[in-house]
C-alpha cells in the first residue's frame, strides 16, 4: 500500500477536494445529505451503497490521471474530500498482480468497481491483540458491483487485482482516508503496524 508508517495520530489538516466530474459531485452532495440525516452507521452505508450502485450503472468518465496505475504499488487518488473531514471519495487503482496487506480502516467504507476485477478476502476483526487472524471468505467484485467493505466494528480485509487489467474502484469512507492512521496486520501472528494511505498526486 502507499503508506508512511506511524504509531502517532495523524495531525495533518484536511485539504478539501471537489470533483470536476458532475456525477461524482452530485453523488458527494447525496452522501453529505445522508450523513447529515443522522443515520446509524449500518443504515448509512446501505444507503450509500444504493446511491453508488445507481451512479455506476448510469455511467461517468473518470479523468485519465485518476485511473493511472503505479508500476510499483497500489495508489489512491482523491476525487472528493469533505472540508470537515467527515467523508472522502477516492479512485483506488491496483495494477495487475498488485494487492494490499491485511488492513483495517478505522471507519466505515463503501466500495464500487468502476473497471476490472477486485478480489477481497475478509478476516474476523481481532478481539485481542497478537493472535492469528481468522479468514471469513473471499469474493470477486466486478464492474458495477458495490459492497459495504467495512464498518467501524467489522473492517479487516485484504484486496488484490484479480484480472488481466488494472482494477479501479470508487471508495467512499467516513473520514479523510488520505490522512487517517489505520492498522495493518500480520495474518499469521496478529501483529499490528500503523500506517497512513497517503493520497497519490
pLDDT the model gives residue 12: 55
- Distance CA(64)–CA(136), nearest Å, equals 35
- Check residues 152 and 47 and name the one with the higher pLDDT: 47
Listed in order, strand segments (DSSP E) in 65-191 are 75-81, 88-94, 102-103, 109-115, 117-123, 135-142, 146-150, 156-161, 167-173, 182-185
- Kindly report the average pLDDT of the chain as a whole number: 92
The more confidently predicted of residues 188 and 9 is 188
Residue range 87-130, pLDDT digits in tens: 999 999 999 999 999 999 999 999 999 999 999 999 999 989 89
Supply φ then ψ for residue 50, to 5 degrees: -65, -40
Provide φ and ψ at 56, rounded to 5°.
Answer: -65, -40
Cα separation of 124 and 136, whole Å? Answer: 6
Domains by residue range for the chain, with CATH: 4-196 (2.60.120.10)
Share of the chain above pLDDT 90, in %: 88
Judge whether residue 5 has pLDDT over 80: no
What is the per-residue pLDDT for 4? 35
State how far the alpha carbon of 64 is from the alpha carbons of 91, 95, 161, 195, 197, in Å: 11, 15, 19, 27, 21
Residue 54's Cβ-side half-sphere holds a number of Cα atoms within 13 Å equal to 11
pTM (2 d.p.): 0.91
Indicate the pLDDT class of residue 1, thresholds 50, 70 and 90.
very low
pLDDT at 9 over 90: no
Three-state DSSP at 119 gives strand
b/e string for 185-195 if b means 16 or more Cβ within 10 A?
Answer: bebeebeeebb
Q: Is the pLDDT of residue 3 over 60?
A: no
Query: Over the stretch 135-181, which tens digit does the pLDDT of each residue have?
Result: 999 999 999 999 999 998 888 999 999 999 999 999 999 999 999 99
pLDDT of residue 8: 39
In this predicted model, what pLDDT tens digit does every residue of 11-40 receive, in sequence order?
A: 457 899 999 999 999 999 999 999 999 999
192 three-class SS:
strand
Any idea what DSSP says for residue 66? G
Query: Sign (positive/negative) of CA torsion 3, 153, 114, 136?
Result: positive
Task: Answer yes or no: is pLDDT of 10 > 90.
Answer: no
pLDDT digits (tens, 9 = 90+) for 62-76: 999 999 999 999 999
Amino acid at each position: 500500500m502507499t503508506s508512511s508508517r506511524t504509531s502517532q495520530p495523524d495531525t495533518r489538516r484536511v485539504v478539501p477536494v471537489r470533483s470536476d466530474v458532475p456525477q461524482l459531485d452530485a453523488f458527494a452532495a447525496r452522501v453529505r445529505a445522508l450523513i447529515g440525516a443522522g443515520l446509524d452507521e449500518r443504515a448509512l452505508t446501505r444507503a450509500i451503497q444504493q446511491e453508488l450502485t445507481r451512479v455506476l450503472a448510469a455511467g461517468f468518465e473518470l479523468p485519465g490521471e485518476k485511473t493511472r496505475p503505479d508500476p510499483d504499488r497500489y495508489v489512491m487518488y482523491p476525487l472528493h474530500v469533505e472540508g470537515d473531514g467527515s467523508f472522502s471519495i477516492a479512485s483506488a487503482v491496483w495494477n495487475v498482480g498488485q494487492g494490499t496487506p491485511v488492513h483495517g480502516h478505522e471507519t466505515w467504507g463503501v466500495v464500487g468497481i468502476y473497471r476490472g476485477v477486485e478480489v477481497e478476502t475478509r478476516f474476523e476483526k481481532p478481539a485481542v491483540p497478537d493472535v492469528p487472524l481468522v479468514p471469513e471468505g473471499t469474493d470477486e467484485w466486478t464492474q458495477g458491483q458495490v459492497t459495504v467493505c467495512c464498518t467501524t466494528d467489522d473492517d479487516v480485509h485484504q484486496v488484490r487485482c484479480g484480472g488481466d487489467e488494472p482494477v479501479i474502484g470508487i471508495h467512499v469512507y467516513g473520514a479523510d482516508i488520505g490522512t487517517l492512521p489505520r492498522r495493518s496486520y500480520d495474518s499469521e501472528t496478529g501483529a499490528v503496524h500503523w500506517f497512513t494511505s497517503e493520497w497519490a498526486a
